[in-house]
Amino acid sequence: MESRMRAVPGDRVIVDGDPDRVGEVISVPHGDGSPPYVVRWQRSGHIALVSPDSYASIVPAGSSLPVRVTPPGNHR
């Protein structure tokens, strides 16, 4: 199945609308911008290779984060 998600360095990944799960894309190994991405997690500074799923969003660099409030205990 082809991924429609695309990112460039500087974009942010937000997982499940959770403000504690935001990372900056620091590298995109594929020239077409498709996953996986090398991400530095905002909260911990940890760097990881990430393959975002359907619960993740890419936020272009310079845009504000579309964070929704998720009640405690309702994370996937």
Task: Indicate yes or no: pTM above 0.95.
Answer: no
19-32 pLDDT, tens digit per residue, is 889 999 999 999 99
Break the chain into its structural domains and give their ranges: 12-59
Cα separation, 4 vs 35, whole angstroms = 9
Q: DSSP assignment, residue 26?
A: E
Comparison of pLDDT for 74 and 30, the residue scoring more = 30
Q: Is the pLDDT of residue 75 over 60?
A: no
Q: Is the pLDDT of residue 71 over 70?
A: no
Nearest to 37 by CA among 4, 68, 12, 74: 12
2-54 pLDDT, tens digit per residue, is 558 999 999 999 999 888 899 999 999 999 999 999 999 999 999 999 999 88
